[in-house]
Amino acid sequence: MSKKVDIDWGNLGFSYIKTDYRYISTWKDGKWDEGKLVTDNKLTISEGSPALHYGQQCFEGLKAYRTKTGEIQLFRPDQNAKRMNESNKRLLMPEIPEEKFIDAVKQVVRANEAYVPPYGTGATLYIRPLMIGVGDSIGVSPAKEYLFCVFCMPVGPYFKGGMAPVNFIVSDYDRAAPHGTGAAKVGGNYAASLYPHELAAKSGFADCIYLDPATHTKIEEVGAANFFGITKDNVFVTPKSPSILPSITKYSLLYLAKEYLHMQVAERDVFINNLDEFKEAGACGTAAVITPIGGIFYNGALHVFHSETEVGPVTKKLYDTLYGIQFGDVEAPAGWIVKV
The per-residue pLDDT for range 22-64, each reduced to its tens digit, is: 999 999 999 999 999 999 999 999 999 999 999 999 999 999 9
Q: What is the mean pLDDT of the chain?
A: 96
Give the model confidence (pLDDT) of 85-105 as tens digits.
999 999 999 999 999 999 999
Does residue 160 have a pLDDT over 80?
Answer: no
Give Cα 216 distance to the centre of its chain. 24
Q: Cβ atoms within 10 A of the Cβ of 20, count?
A: 16
Contact 142, 92 (CB under 8 A): yes
18 in active site = no
**Which CATH number is 166-326 given?**
3.20.10.10
Q: Identity (one letter) of the amino acid at 323? A: Y
CB atoms within 10 A of CB 181: 20
Q: What share of the chain is helix, strand, coil (3-state, %, to 5)?
A: 25, 30, 45
- Report residue 189: phi and psi, to 5°: -60, -40
Please tell me which residue in 63, 106, 185, 218 is annotated as part of the active site.
185
What is the C-alpha separation between 323 and 95, in angstroms, rounded? 30
Residue 1 has pLDDT above 60, yes or no: no
Q: What is the pLDDT of residue 157?
A: 82
Please name the residue ranges forming H helices in the chain.
50-54, 77-90, 98-111, 187-202, 248-259, 313-326
Cβ atoms of 328 and 337 closer than 8 Å = yes
Which CATH architecture is the domain 9-155 placed in?
A: 2-Layer Sandwich (3.30)
Condensed to tens digits (0 to 9), the pLDDT of residues 225-267 reads: 999 999 999 999 999 999 999 999 999 999 999 999 999 999 9
Quote the CA–CA distance of 166 and 162 in Å, as a whole number. Answer: 12
pLDDT digits (tens, 9 = 90+) for 204-228: 999 999 999 999 999 999 988 999 9
Q: How many CB atoms lie within 10 A of CB 338?
A: 16
Share of the chain above pLDDT 70, in %: 99
Contact 24, 151 (CB under 8 A): no
Give the pLDDT score at 3: 82
Are the beta carbons of 128 and 7 closer than 8 angstroms?
A: no
The DSSP letter of residue 118 is P
Query: Is the predicted pLDDT of residue 203 greater than 90, yes or no?
Result: yes
> What are the domain boundaries of the chain?
9-155, 166-326
Query: Among candidates 280, 251, 277, which has minimal Cα distance to 165?
Result: 280
pTM reported for the whole predicted model:
0.96
Total residue count of the chain as it appears in this document: 340
Question: Where do the DSSP E strands lie in 192-277?
Answer: 207-211, 219-222, 225-231, 235-239, 264-268
The answer to whether the 9-155 and 166-326 domains have the same CATH topology is no
- Which residues, 6+ apart, have CB-to-CB distance to 207 below 8 Å? 168, 197, 200, 201, 222, 223, 224
